[in-house]
Chains A and B, each alone.
Chain A
Amino acid sequence: MNDKPMQTATHSHSTFIPGPDAAMIDISIDGIELKVAQGTSILDAARQVGVRIPTLCHHDDLCTAGVCRICVVEVEGARTLQASCATPVTQPISVKTNTPKVRSARRHIIDLLLAEHYGDCNTCKRNNNCELQSLAAEYGVDFYRFGHPTEPKYAIDRSSPSIVRDMNKCVLCRRCVRACEELQGVGCLTVASRSSRAHVATFASKPLANVVCINCGQCINHCPTGALTELDQTDEVWTMIEDPTKHVVIQTAPSPRAGMGECFGLEPGTPVTQQLNTALKRVGFDAVFDTNHTADLTIIEEGTELILRLYKALVEKDESVKLPQFTSCSPGWVKYMEHFHTNRLDHLSSAKSPQQMFGSLLKTYYAEKKGVDPADMVVVALMPCTAKKFECNRPEMNSSGFKDVDYGLTTRELAGMIKESGIDLPKLPEAPFDAPFGEASGAGAIFGATGGVMEAALRSVIEMVTGKQVEDFYDHANILPVRGIEGARLAEIPITEVGPVPDLLKHLVPNWDWLKGATLKVGVVHGTANAKQVMEDIEAGGPFSECHFIEFMACPGGCLGGGGQPIPTSPEIRAKRSQAIYQIDANYAVRKSHENPMVLQLYQEFLTDGPCGHISHHHLHTHYQARGKFIG
């Protein structure tokens, strides 16, 4: 599992990944003898033999911090207890994990954390999914030995459209700080001040909405407590559902289907697409649609944009054309660009994200078909993502004449609504998506996994350019070279033959001869820290600068690891969700965006001047804003 950043992060605390030729060392843990590679942490060694050591600041996604000290163990010969997560095995040792001294120390640490932890479990979003609460239960905390705060110390920061920070619940494990810095390369959060005043802060302790935050929500996903949560909009959505004058529809992205089951006790990687449709209808949505349709539409629009860029660059020798083209469907990534790489905003495809395309179509095309006044229509989007909340609030996202998407709900928020409705999701019968859109394509579904957008694009581009079936080149249309988990990867797709230009694109390019014998170079990047390095590579004229097209996803693993997905997250969990996504893809009848009948119908009925035409530009494309890094 290596979707960690390409190099270790900037801060200097260590990680323990033994090299391939590390010596094997004999150790004993609670009397169990084993051999581990030199450099393995005591914690990992214990896990190998099934000895459970509690952790709090440790997270499998992140570098070692060793700050909470809950994982202490006795190491023979050591003067003090040792933090097992932060102590590598360098010589034969004997470890005891369950002694009175260890238990008392752990209990004291929990007591101390509770003495600072202001908040009530009953009113907390993380009730029943909180690591502090679990530890307290595990260690038999029956009273607040060192007291319990009766007043908050910090005002809750609700300024961000995506993320709420309640530092009164913070245990200073620094997982959010590390996630933001190591996984995302943003560095929006830091530990400020010191001693008992130490706290996690934004720059100059400004409201989150005013600092350089990309809203990705990885801090939420990595928080052990309820200190970080999404801005919950379920009450507003309930109000809309209850309002008989409103036509409330929901579009659902691919990743929540792959993750939602986890909120209902299912194993990670259990897809629940059809049950989810039933649940959403029972919750009270008037119609349930598949965001994959606009994922397919994104492929056509973004793919056409790419072809146009290539044509202008290669045939017309237009030097103002920017390549590589970057995907623009991940709103965290887009905002990252707007803050950090303002000089390269025109590399971003102007295509809107699938969420926003759908919003615009729903309030125009669908509203007309259905005969509802778009003013009375409420579009909700079920997303794996907290940045989608920010995205739908962008003032420019109103091409329908209304706010295109009214609410972006995370997987977690919607799980809450389903539970509140008394629905046991896994037991529900299946239901299809609603007309007029119906089922989309598998290409749209794999948008949820890193490499998916690229694979979907390639499935279409290959067929449109060669006139042949993708299956002629790749078994079952699975384009394996762009799949994988490495944080940043390159692939080359040779175009050995060309066919006729399909009808959809005839008005844009005369023929494909100019692509014959060319090699399409593509990149796939996930996790913003990796994106940061790829951008540096591009600035330096490295291999990524030679790409034609690069898929960027802000979150590790792509959307399936998004900041709105069920907690916890880990490399293993993300791998399972990824399997679910590819399984969903394999089950679709149509697996290529350009074969999605709904997409074709849209170009016939509504977007009548074709991909990247005026109408599509109005509804499906957008522009970006240079925000920069400096804040006043």
Chain B
Amino acid sequence: MLLTGQDNEKAVIKELMKTIGSERSELIPLLLAYQDEFGYVSEFAMQYIADQLKIPANEVYGVATFFHFINKQPKGKFIIRLSRDMSSIMKGAKSVARQLRNDLGIRIGETTPDGMFTLEWTSCIGMNYQAPAMMVNNEVFSNLTPPMVHRIIEECRQEVRTRRPTVGNVGETFSSILSYSSHAPNSALTRAVEEMTPVDVASELTVSGLKGRGGAGFPTGVKWSLASKAEGDVKYIICNADEGEPGTFKDRVLLGKYADLVFEGMTLAGYAVGAREGIVYLRYEYTHLRPHLEAVLEARRQANLLGENILGKDGFCFDIRIHMGAGAYVCGEETALIESLEGRRGEPRNRPPYPVEKGLHGRPTVVNNVETLATASCIIARGVNWFTSIGTERSKGFKLFSVSGDCERPGVYELPWGMTVRQLLELVDGVGAKAVQVGGYTGELVPASQFDRVMGYEDLGIGGSIIVYGQGRDMLEVAENYLEFFVEESCGQCTGCRIGNQKLLDGVRLLQKGTCSNRYLNDLIGLSHSIKSTSKCGLGQASPNVFVAINEHFKEEIMARPVLAA
């Protein structure tokens, strides 16, 4: 029987619902899966999915328009997304973009008339150490140069002709991750199951002093124990693999090389908290990791490291599934992540209540960063003393740093807490830098005069992204790039974050043109403080940092733009 267009769409949606599910929480996976079939999500599909999920069609529209990677219109067969993080810009992303425009004959945001290529900028894709980088559909190409672009485009055309899958082109990431590579597989889980009560696991982590590696630095043991004490039979463990902070790629390396360690950590958390379900929230940009992760999960199930009565322990049941993000930096924020897991726009929630009390579906939920979970496995395996012997008084243990920018040896480094910025620069050969961004765009811009500052919770206790800026770098360009990112990625709820960041960006552009009055600059600094103090989540609370920092440390530079010919 010949199906009409809409009947066909209906049939596909019904079929997808059979495997994916027909709950509201499956909305985003459904949209993505539908898009895999049709290339974009049509208005009819949105309405039909809404009808099936018993929600207003307009809610689906609201969700679909929130996420970058849900196409509301047909796009090219190949969607080229060029990373716009600062490391990429520094390494020539703009010339690559120009070459792509030239070769494809379209502007950014457009699709070629033959429907083959769409060209877009995207936020950081976690390839900063091999910048510039881009994604072609789900494949990543790094260390790009303008001449390479031609070859990649040709390969894509070839692929269509020969039905060969595109194979990404990514070099090996330099990494020094000693503790993880020497971890005896599943030794933590075995120890927990054999020797420890759930309470022991959480308290041992508390004693270890491990703090969350996702940025906020909340003590992990305390988090687990709060969730374990929270009322409710259904609890969740979420592994936050949204890694959207520009300049960060350590979670990707971890998931690529040490996925077992991460899943072991999740399983430990499930044991400690009494949860049966774990979810990996994997950013869309890491779709290429998914087959590998699924294989690891399946192997763990086979080995009874997941499933019922794990390792023979009666009643210890836990399994893990993977949920794909759809392109939104803010969904790394734990409550926004939970909203999107529930099939809503990724907008951070009001707190309290915190996820440990009321998280996913209103149930107690632990959200932990990938690295936190892997580290927890190491600690439970080797004991607290091993961990606390590393690091400083207030910052125990070690941390992974993603290093990129103007240095000779970018990559992922496992380092003890307590190093100075200067020592780090020596290690990665970025000596002579003008400034270093510590902790990603939401972190701190540290000028050369402060390179003796210590990386640890007592001082620069923030996430693990390090971007090195060499002497020639223009700090206004840096600020412009950061603010473009925040303007794009703000969820748009809070007045300050939604409108204020745009005003700061406009201000940077006035400075670039040399047309900003001192008075207005002061107004913008005042505004920066108000944005930080009134915003609901860490994005708005940190987005003005760079504006404040360039004023504090580089005032001479930013106020002394060359005078343009009148």
Q: Chain A residues with Cβ under 8 A from B487's Cβ?
A: 195-196
Residues of chain B lying within 8 A (CB to CB) of residue A101? 533
Contact A86 B350 (CB under 8 A): yes
Residues of chain B within 8 A of A218, CB atoms compared: none
Contacts A12-B342, A108-B527, A196-B487: A69 and B353 contacting too (C-beta < 8 A)? no
B84-126: which have CB < 8 Å to A?
A: none
Contact partner of A188 (CB less than 8 A), chosen from B55, B56, B529, B535, is: B56
A211 to B61 Cα, complex, angstroms? 13
CB–CB B526/A108 < 8 A: yes
Contacts of B330 in A (CB 8 A): 194
A104 to chain B, nearest CB (A): 6
Q: Let me know if A195 and B498 touch, CB within 8 A.
A: yes
B276 to chain A: closest CB distance in Å?
22
Name A2-42 residues within 8 Å CB distance of B: 10-14
With A14-B350, A181-B56 given, is the CB distance from A196 to B490 under 8 Å? yes
Alpha-carbon distance between A86 and B351 when the two chains are bound, in angstroms: 8
A136 CB to nearest B CB, Å: 14
Question: Would you call B422 an interface residue if the criterion is a C-beta within 8 Å of the partner chain's C-beta atoms?
Answer: no
CB contacts under 8 Å to A, within B499-542, are 499-503, 523, 526-527, 529-536, 541
Return the CB mask of A78-94 against B: 1 if under 8 Å, else 0. 00110100111010000
- Complex Cα distance, B499 from A115, in Å, reads 8
Please name all residues of chain B whose beta carbon is closer than 8 Å to the beta carbon of A629 when the two chains form the complex: 47, 51, 57
Q: Is the interface of B mostly helix, strand, loop or mixed?
A: helix
A172 within 8 A of B: yes
Q: Within residues 135 to 183 of chain A, which ones have a CB less than 8 A from any CB in chain B?
A: 145-146, 171-172, 181
Q: Which of B46, B47, B328, B498 has the most CB of A within 10 A?
A: B498
Once the chains bind, are B47 and A631 in contact (CB under 8 Å)?
yes
Q: How far is the CA of A378 from the CA of B158 in the complex (A)?
A: 72
Tally of chain B residues near chain A (CB < 8 A): 54
Distance between Cα atoms of A111 and B532 in the complex (Å): 16
Q: How far is the CB of B61 from chain A (nearest CB, A)?
A: 5
B502 proximity list for chain A (CB < 8 A): 196
Given contacts A12-B342, A66-B536, A69-B536, contact A203 B57 (CB under 8 A): yes
User: Known contacts A195-B489, A196-B492; is A13 also within 8 Å of B349 by CB?
Assistant: yes
B495 touches A12 (CB 8 A): no
Nearest CB of chain A from residue B57's CB, rounded to whole Å = 5
B165 within 8 A of A: no
Whether B488 pairs with A195 at a CB distance below 8 angstroms is: yes
Give the chain B neighbours of A477 by CB distance below 8 A. Answer: none
| Max chain B Cβ within 10 angstroms of own Cβ: one of A113, A192, A631 | A192
Residues in B with CB closer than 8 Å to A188 are 56, 58
Central interface residue in B330, B493, B541, by most chain A CB within 10 Å: B493
B533/A146 in contact, CB under 8 A: no
Given A67-B494, A70-B495, A195-B492, decide whether A190 and B350 contact each other with a Cβ distance below 8 A. no
Interface status of A528 (Cβ within 8 A of chain B): no
Which residue of chain A is the closest to B500 with respect to CB atoms? A112
| B56 / chain A contacts, CB cutoff of 8 Å | 181, 186-188, 190, 212
Which A residue's beta carbon lies closest to that of B503?
A: A146
Instruction: Assess the B492–A190 pair: CB atoms within 8 A.
Output: no
In the complex, chain A residues 96-146 whose Cβ is within 8 Å of any chain B Cβ? 101, 104-105, 108-109, 111-113, 115-116, 145-146
Q: What is the distance, in angstroms, from B158's C-beta to the closest C-beta of chain A? A: 36
Contact A12 B339, beta carbon cutoff 8 Å:
yes
Closest CB in chain A relative to B339 CB, distance in Å = 7
Q: Which residues of B contact A193 (CB under 8 A)?
A: 65-66, 492
Are A113 and B58 in contact, CB atoms less than 8 angstroms apart? no
CB neighbours of B328 from chain A (8 A): 194
Does B332 have its Cβ within 8 Å of any Cβ on chain A? no
- A105 and B497 CA atoms in complex are apart in Å by 12
B534 touches A69 (CB 8 A): yes
Q: Which residues of A contact B58 (CB under 8 A)?
A: 187-190, 201-203, 211-212
With A105-B530, A146-B527 known as contacts, the answer to whether A115 contacts B503 (CB < 8 A) is yes
Assuming the contacts A86-B350, A187-B58, A203-B58, asked whether A112 and B492 have C-beta atoms less than 8 A apart, the reply is no
Q: Which of A64, A69, A194 has the most CB of B within 10 A?
A: A194
**Pick the contact of A105 from B65, B353, B534 — CB < 8 Å?**
B534
Contact check, B499 vs A116: say whether CB atoms are below 8 A apart: yes
Which of B59, B349, B495 gathers the greatest number of chain A CB atoms within 10 Å? B495
Chain A binding site: helix, strand, loop or mixed by DSSP? loop
| A197 contacts B by Cβ under 8 Å | yes
| A196:B62 contact, CB within 8 angstroms | no
A190 touches B59 (CB 8 A): yes
Q: Is A589 an interface residue (CB 8 A)?
A: no
Q: B43 interface residue, CB < 8 Å from A?
A: yes
Give the distance to chain B from A200, nearest Cβ to Cβ, in Å: 10
Contact of B464 with A by CB under 8 A: no
Q: Does A191 touch B at the CB level, under 8 Å?
A: yes
Q: Tell whether B345 is near chain A: CB-to-CB under 8 Å.
A: yes
Nearest A residue to B358 by beta-carbon distance? A14
Within 8 A of A (CB), among B452-477: none
Return the CB mask of A56-86 against B: 1 if under 8 Å, else 0.
Answer: 0000000011111110100000001101001
Complex interface bits, A547-564 against B, C-beta within 8 A gives 1, otherwise 0: 000000000000000000
| Residues of B contacting A196 in the complex (Cβ-Cβ under 8 angstroms) | 487, 490, 492, 498-499, 501-502
Give the docked Cα–Cα distance between A236 and B145 (Å).
Answer: 66
Q: Least Cβ distance of A228 to chain B in Å?
A: 16
Q: Does the CB pair B530–A108 fall under 8 Å? A: yes
B130 to chain A, nearest CB (A): 28
Chain A hits for B490, CB < 8 A:
194-196
A435 interface residue per 8 A CB criterion: no
Q: Is B344 an interface residue (CB 8 A)?
A: yes
A204 at the interface (CB under 8 A from B): yes
Of A87, A111, A631, most B-chain CB atoms within 10 Å? A111
> Is B65 in contact with A109, judged by CB distance below 8 angstroms?
no
Tell yes or no: B496 within 8 A of A by CB.
Answer: yes
Per the bound structure, the CA–CA distance linking A87 and B353 in Å amounts to 9
Whether the pair A81, B534 counts as a contact (CB closer than 8 A) is yes
Give the docked Cα–Cα distance between A461 and B472 (Å): 89
Residues of chain A contacted by B503 (CB below 8 angstroms): 112, 115, 146
Whole-angstrom CA separation of A188 from B500 in the bound complex: 29
User: Does A204 contact B43, Cβ atoms closer than 8 Å?
Assistant: yes
Give the Cβ gap from A252 to chain B, nearest Cβ, in Å.
35
Please tell me if B352 contacts chain A, counting CB pairs below 8 Å. Answer: yes
Contact call B350/A13, Cβ cutoff below 8 A: yes
Q: When the two chains form their complex, are residues A192 and B61 in contact, meaning their CB atoms are under 8 A apart?
A: yes
| CB of B210 within 8 Å of the partner chain | no
Once bound together, how far apart are the Cα atoms of A146 and B501, in whole Å?
Answer: 12
The answer to whether B541 touches A69 (Cβ under 8 A) is no
Q: Is B136 an interface residue (CB 8 A)?
A: no
Residues in B neighbouring A11, C-beta threshold 8 A: 344
Please tell me if B491 contacts chain A, counting CB pairs below 8 Å. yes
Tell me if B536 and A113 are in contact (CB < 8 A): no
A66 to B495 alpha-carbon distance, docked (Å): 10
Q: Mark B35-63, 1 if CB is under 8 A from A, else 0.
A: 00000000110111001000111110110
Cβ of A198 under 8 Å from chain B: yes
CB distance from A506 to the nearest CB of B (A): 48
Q: Are B61 and A203 in contact (CB under 8 A)?
A: yes
* A112 engages B57 (CB within 8 Å): no
List, sorted by A's number, 24 A–B pairs whose CB atoms are closer than 8 Å: A12-B339, A64-B350, A66-B350, A67-B494, A69-B495, A69-B536, A70-B495, A88-B352, A90-B352, A101-B533, A104-B529, A108-B527, A112-B503, A171-B495, A195-B491, A195-B498, A198-B491, A203-B46, A203-B58, A212-B57, A212-B58, A629-B57, A630-B48, A631-B47
Chain A residues within CB distance 8 Å of chain B: 10-14, 64-70, 72, 80-81, 83, 86-88, 90, 101, 104-105, 108-109, 111-113, 115-116, 145-146, 171-172, 181, 186-198, 201-204, 211-212, 629-631
Q: A12-B362, A105-B533, A146-B523 are in contact. List 7 more A-B contacts (CB 8 A).
A: A11-B344, A13-B349, A104-B529, A108-B527, A112-B503, A172-B495, A631-B47
Q: Name the 10 nearest CB pairs between A and B, nearest first.
A: A187-B56, A198-B492, A190-B62, A108-B530, A86-B350, A112-B499, A69-B534, A190-B58, A105-B530, A67-B493
